[in-house]
Amino acid sequence: MKIGMIGLGRMGGNMARRLMAGGHEIVAYDRNEEAVAALANDGAIPASSLDDMRDKLDTPAIWWVMLPAGDITESTIATIGTDAKPGDIVIDGGNSFYKDDIRRAKMLAEKDLHYVDVGTSGGVWGKERGYCMMIGGDKETVDLLDPIFDTLAPGTGEIVRTPGRNPENADPRAEKGYIHAGPAGSGHFVKMIHNGIEYGLMQAYAEGFDILKSKNTDKLPEEERFDLNLTDIAEVWRRGSVISSWLLDLTAIALAKDGMLEQFSGSVADSGEGQWTIDAAMEQKVPANVLTASLFARYRSRIDHTFGDKVLSAMRYGFGGHVEIPQ
């Protein structure tokens, strides 16, 4: 299939390359001309503007927006809405707020355009590992786009099938790493909760390693002080423990490079999904103690840094390339 990829940053550029490796055609546009040229060198069709992109897409055109949530995504989709032709498909694969998706879908439907929101997880590793995707939109459009999602997804790989899961009664796409979650907005809603959970998991690791590191403090009696090797602890936990995970893998990688994580500032940013998750919990009157505490811990990290905050920064850098490194 031919896809217009708008936004060629860490995620968009790698997704475009994975799609091309899977046999799809990419028409590439970014305000950064060097990013367009680099992708064109890898086989993409360059576009100099959204107008230029429209002329190079098939009918119906597939516009995939891979930009940061907020004004730039909003303005880009609005522009596409004026350039697109009836029947075209607009995909937002960034981290947009799900209520914005619902509004955009209604707006574009008035112009006979289809809107699909794709919550995308995979970070900078996705080009090789594939991307886990949570998709919202009407069934006919999502089914039409299935070859694209199938190429981007990790596939079944070597993960053992969940005991008790009956493949005859279950959507096979989930085992490949992507799902059709429901109508417009549902994909980003599921991804939003995914990121809220991510905050909580990361905070648990961060606090645990902080306690381990501080066990050698002079605040304790001398016989109770342990000088623990955090690098080895992370490594042994990766192998057979009940808390093994990809986040722990990334922590182990960072500690192997620098046991004190001195390259990280410990001022931990948040991209918005954590707050949106807490907002949803409040609207739905669902307790979310851990997720709320993990979000507030990030706010606190920008004032007072701990070793645990550096662990958070290391994980964020590991999976998403988020830079919280002292300059």
Report the catalytic residues: 191, 198
**Which of 185, 210, 201 minimizes the C-alpha distance to 315?**
201
Residue pair 303/107 in contact by the 8 Å Cβ criterion = no
User: How many residues make up the chain in this entry?
Assistant: 327
How far is the C-alpha of 204 from the C-alpha of 211, rounded, in Å?
A: 11
How far is the C-alpha of 171 from the C-alpha of 29, rounded, in Å?
A: 34
**Structural tokens at position 212:** 């381990």
- Could you count the other beta carbons within 10 Å of the beta carbon of residue 265? 18
How far does the chain reach from its first CA to its final CA, in angstroms? 43
25-29 and 2-6 as β-strands: parallel, antiparallel, unpaired? Answer: parallel
Residues 163, 154, 136: CA angle, nearest 5 degrees: 90
Coil, strand or helix at 27:
strand
**Structural tokens at position 18:** 């994975």
62-65 and 114-121 as β-strands: parallel, antiparallel, unpaired? Answer: unpaired
Kindly state the helix (H) or strand (E) to which residue 63 belongs, with its residue range.
strand 62-65
Residue pair 82/155 in contact by the 8 Å Cβ criterion = no
